[in-house]
Amino acid sequence: MQRIILHSDANSFYASVECAEHPGLRGKPVAVCGDPEARHGIVLTKNQNAKAYGIKTGEAIWQAKQKCPNLVVVPPDYPKYVAYSKRMREIYETYTDCVEAFGLDENWLDISHPDMDMRLAEMTANDIRKRIAGELGITVSVGVSFNKVFAKLGSDYKKPDAVTVITEENFRRIVWPLPASDLIYVGPRTARKLMEIGIITIGQLANAETDMLKMKFGVNGMMLKAFALGLDKSRVMKIDEKEIIKSIGNSSTPPHDIETIRDAKCMIYLLSESVAARLRENGFRAKCVSISVRDTGLSVCGCQRTLERPSQLSGEIAEAAFRLFMEKYMDHLPLRSMGVSCARLVSADEPKQMDIFGVSEREIKRENLESAIDSLRTRYGHQVVRRGIVMFDKAFAQINPKEEQTIHPVGFLKDDRVKYAAPKQKE
């Protein structure tokens, strides 16, 4: 049976939803932007009319308005976007029980069936596209292929409101001329490293020497080459499968720049408390803590550290994050925003090794204390209990980062045990 995967990607999702909800916006350049009063004033997404002016995601509102003075700026409404995402998924589930989300606006569908071929798959993709346009008033682009990687490339290939079919016969013609950065998991840093060794296109990646890629990128280099060769075998999850949580993290832009070490320590403790609360809420301890910083020029960098013992304690997470800051980023001040994240999660039910010094016993008491604080905050609000460090700045003291919490599921490779064997070199 031929494997047939679809990848459906909503075009300019947030902006499209706003135009669907407010017909008066249709035909106008629209950008969904963060709140400038809270210093989140950047473009989150924009519609096709705004794209025509050269407006880019991530740039400041004032920059966007310089390009397009008549730009309509709309604040984000996340509950509304979640509702639309759910409605899209309900449509997908009428076609298959294998539907896997990749963010709010993207989904893979496995429609493999003994009677299904690429011609029927293209018809199915067009049917989905028309249903979403008719029932929700937004558009999607759909990629049709024999694996998840190329299906995603197909949904990006033609936008908006289009279907692209990538087969085993035509993928070299369609996929290989594309930039290597178009391939999933080739981020800006990896793309730069590939460019340094003369690899610019996906085709060049596919035909690169395996040993060289392994030496430069490790197992990820072999995985990316396998993707470029069309050898991706990762499956689409069934709708009743629970996503595995990979990491829990949070970042926040405070009311004013982080100018001093005390400001940074305050933000780190605020973020660490929210991350620790989510770890406890989801039944995890973390083995790894990472921080990210964004300076006033909007450049982002980050680093991580392994903990001595898995932890869900806000103090231990904050101390590790603050040490990282002092070692790596103290000279980067002032900063516009910061983030704290925990990874390498283990179940909180795993037994703890007790010790003769009573360290484990004290940790258990601190976990019980923080769980009690979680209960108080749930009942009376986040501000009912606050650390002394955050009271030095009234603006920081009002931040409730837990509401902005981010939980990161395994978005693509569901099984860490999957290893990509080195593809054989072409003769």
Catalytic center residues: 106
In this structure, are residues 337 and 254 in contact, taking their beta carbons and an 8 Å threshold?
yes
Q: Give the DSSP letter of residue 330.
A: G
In this structure, are residues 164 and 23 in contact, taking their beta carbons and an 8 Å threshold?
no
d(CA 309, CA 289): 11
DSSP 207-258: TS-HHHHHHHHTHHHHHHHHHHTT---PPPPPTTSPPPEEEEEEEE--SS-B
Residue labelled with tokens 């002092």: 326
C-alpha pair distances (Å), 30 with each of 49, 52, 65, 77: 7, 11, 11, 14
Q: Give the DSSP letter of residue 134.
A: H
Helix axes 188-196, 210-217, angle to 10 degrees: 130
Beta-carbon contacts of residue 68 (< 8 Å; ≥ 6 apart): 29, 50, 53, 55
